[in-house]
A and B are shown apart, each in its own frame.
Chain A
Amino acid sequence: MNSSLQISRVLLFLLVSTSLLRAQTRQWVRVIDASREINRAKAEILLEFEVEAGYHIQSHRPEDPLLIPTELIFQWPEGIANSPPVFPPAEPFPLLGTETVLQVYSGLLPVRVPLQIEAGVIAGEYAVSGILTYQACDDWKCYFPRELPFTMGIRLKADIP
C-alpha cells in the first residue's frame, strides 16, 4: 500500500472518529452567564443558560410525569447549600391534533438559585460545579436526555460592618 493511501485512510478514520465523538457529546444548551459575587444578605446566584435556536427543552415541571424535567443540581463547598432553583415560566407548546400542551423552554433560560450560607463560611473565592439535566427536541426529532456539566467561580463578599 502506498504511503499517501495510508495517510488518507488514517485521516478518514480520524475524521469519522471525531465526528462520532462530537455527535455523542453534542449539547443543545450552554451556560452563557453566572453572577459571581454573593452577598450574605441576599444570598443567591443567577445563572443564565441558552437553548440553541430551533430547539426546546422540557420545563422543570412537565405536566406529563413521563417527560424528562429540566433539573439543576450543584456541588457546593462545605457550609453552602441551595434551595430549589427558581425557573422562569415555561412556554406552551401545543401538540397539533391533540389536547396535549407541553411546557417548554427555548432561547434564554435565566435561573435564580437561592443559597443558604452558614455563619462559619469565610469570605473569599470558591469553585462550584453543577449539572443541568434536560431533554431537547427540535421540529424534526427528540433527542436523548443530556447532562450539561459546568463549573464556575463565585466570590463570597465580606460582611459590611
Chain B
Amino acid sequence: MKKWIFALGLLLASGPLSAQDPVGDYGEVPAFVLNDLNGQAVDIEGYDGSYVVIHIAATWCPFCNAEAPYLQQLSQEYAEKNVKVLLIDVKEPPELVREKLQDKFGFTFPVLLDRDGTVAASFAPEDVLPDLARDEVMLASNLLVDPEGRIRFMSLLDSRNFDAKLIALKARLDELLASN
C-alpha cells in the first residue's frame, strides 16, 4: 500500500517517469527470448555487458513512428559506445512489421516480435501505473538497460510533452556512460 501511495505521489508530482526521476533504477529487466524478423531467437541475457535501449512499438502507433527515425539515429550514434538497440513490436505479423517498420525506417538493429504482447506487458511497472490494463502495453516507451541488466531509464508516452527526438533518453545514456 505504501509503495502504491508513493508511486501515485510520484506520478502526481512529476508526470511520467523520465531521466529526471530521482530513483533512476527500475529493477532487473525481465528475462525474455523473442524471435527477430529472420526467425532467430534473441535472448536479452545475450546482451549482458552492454547498454541496451528497448523500444516498444506497433506499426499503427503514431508516436512510435515519430520516434522511429531518431531511434535509428541513436543506434548509429552510440554503436561505438557499447550501446545496442532492440525494438519489440507487439501483436503484429512479421510481414507487416518488416514492410512498415524495418524497411520503411531502415532499421539496422534487431526488430523482435512479441506476438501475444506478454513480454512487452512484463515491463509494465504495476506500482507505477495502477490503471494500466493488463492487455495493454507501454507503446512508444523506451527503456535503458545497463550492462548489469538493470533498467536505468523508463519513459512512458507523454503526448503533451512528447520527446520524439529521445532527448531525455540520450541525456540519461550520456550520464551513465560518463560515470563509467
Please report A residues at the B interface, Cβ cutoff 8 Å. Answer: 20, 23-24, 26, 58, 64, 66-68, 95-98, 100, 102, 135, 137-145
Contact = CB atoms under 8 A, between A and B. Distances in A.
B134 A64 contact: no
Contact of B161 (A68, A96, A100, A137): A96
Contact of A97 (B61, B132, B156, B163): B163
B135 A98 contact: no
A95 B63 CA distance: 8
Contacts of A135: 60
Contact of B62 (A20, A67, A141, A143): A67
Interface of A is mostly: loop
B66 interface: yes
A139 B129 CA distance: 13
Given A64-B65, A141-B139, A142-B139, A23 B158 contact: no
A58 B63 CA distance: 12
Contact of B134 (A23, A67, A98): A23
A140 B16 contact: yes
Nearest to B156: A140
Top 5 A-B residue pairs of the complex, sorted by shortest distance between their CB atoms: A23-B133, A96-B162, A97-B164, A98-B164, A68-B60
A99 to B, nearest CB: 9
Contacts of A97: 66, 162-165
B34 to A, nearest CB: 18
Contacts of A20: 134
Contact of A95 (B132, B133, B162): B162
Contacts of A23: 133-136
B159 interface: yes
Contacts of B161: 96
Interface in B127-180: 132-136, 138-140, 156-165
A16 B145 CA distance: 31
